[in-house]
Amino acid sequence: MTRQSRTLPAGSERSLHQAYDTALLDLDGVVYAGGEAIAHAVDSLAAARADGMHLAYVTNNALRTPDAVAEHLSELGIPTEAGEVITSAQAVARLIAGQVEPGAKVLVIGGEGLRVALRERGLVPVDSAEEDGLAAVVQGYGGPDLPWGRFAEASYAINRGVPWFASNTDLTIPGTRGIAPGNGAAVEVVRIATGAEPQVAGKPLPPMHRETVLRTGAKRPLVVGDRLDTDIEGAFNGDVDSLLVLTGVTDAAQLLRAEPKYRPTYVDRDLRGLLTGQPEVVAAEGGGFRCGSWTAEALDGVLELRGEPRGEEAGPSGAGTANDALDGLRALCAAAWTQAGDGSCGLDAGKALARLGL
């Protein structure tokens, strides 16, 4: 399915792990949150790998090295090698290396992941804006304990005209206690102090997609993520298919409002969606769109949902099982996206989503 025609979620008779050769998986909000594995992630990834799907972990989080990420995943029960991890630190290091001389000094505002990636490209990470011959400033997520003074150090160099690069601009990052500020929030601090704009490498921009393709060699990739503005938009920009999982920052209401570049090919509750086919969404007789037992239509300023959960699946709330509720969400997506066209759907979906328990 091409990005230009994405006005409804796609169906797939084959399970996704058989329809695609490589899953390009985001980490935060997809595989783990706050360092702990998300429910069903370990077993689902093991099953997909055992059946021949290649797994690659693609993260905008530049804090940790691929070795550290691989070790963490392995500890969670997901055997992983460092070569299967692609980070925005690697993408931004390649971007910088293409614009400065070999061995150039780069001021690092962030963590060890940036330093290792710069050294891999033959560059020299430094800590002070006063270094002679400073060629660039690079900013990446440094964790909650990154000192405020590091933003000042970046500002001093950038205000003198040193080129500024950022690994990514995700404003938030999910954790076990909730949503916290991400590197994008830190980039905003430096932007306010300097009035400058960084060159950005991470998802959803082309440098990250290029880095991923170069390192994985994927032929039929499926991007799997939880964020519309990085994972799904990155897949859109790369013209590849995507699966949105609802285990991270995106909720059902945000999905219904998605503009074309933020609309995933498929949507599922969690990584178990890799192991199944995807139900087809079709035009319903009398108007609207049908998926499973649900029909959704844009009527009189609201998104209306008709139908009932399948009887054997109905729970105490009347919402049915998780799969049944997702069928309703897929139908709502088709109605909302078709109504919105190239824009964002502003119709009220509150009652419809409440019926689904979403």
pLDDT tens track for 45-54: 999 999 999 9
Distance CA 139, CA 106 (A): 10
- Residue 72 phi, psi (nearest 5): -60, -45
Tokens of 260: 């074309």
pLDDT at 312: 46
- Residue 210 phi, psi (nearest 5): -65, -45
pLDDT at 63: 95
Distance CA 251, CA 1 (A): 23
Distance CA 130, CA 132 (A): 6
C-alpha torsion angle, residues 21, 206, 118, 220 (rounded to 10): 10
Q: What is the pLDDT of residues 287-332, one digit of tens each?
A: 999 999 999 999 999 999 999 776 544 443 334 466 789 999 999 9
What parts of the chain have a pLDDT lower than 50?
1-2, 312-320
* 27 close to 59: Cβ distance less than 8 angstroms: yes
Shortest CA distance to 105 belongs to which of 167, 157, 61, 149?
Answer: 157
pLDDT at 115: 98
Distance CA 174, CA 304 (A): 31
Give CA separation, 328 vs 114, 128, 272, in Å.
Answer: 43, 54, 18
Q: Which of 26, 226, 241, 327 is catalytic?
A: 26
Tokens of 104: 């150039």
Residue 34 gets the label, from left (phi > 0), alpha (psi -120 to 50) or beta, of: left
Q: Which of 21, 28, 170, 348 is catalytic?
A: 28
Q: What is the pLDDT of residues 230-241, one digit of tens each?
A: 999 999 999 999
- Strand ordering across the sheet containing 54-59: 85-87, 54-59, 22-25, 221-225, 241-245, 266-268
pLDDT at 311: 52
Residue 285: CB atoms within 10 Å? 8
Contacts of 237 (CB under 8 A, 6+ apart): 204, 205, 206, 209, 261
Write the DSSP assignment of 233-260 as a string of letters. Answer: HHHHHHT-EEEEETTSS--HHHHHT--G
Mark whether 26 is an active-site residue.
yes
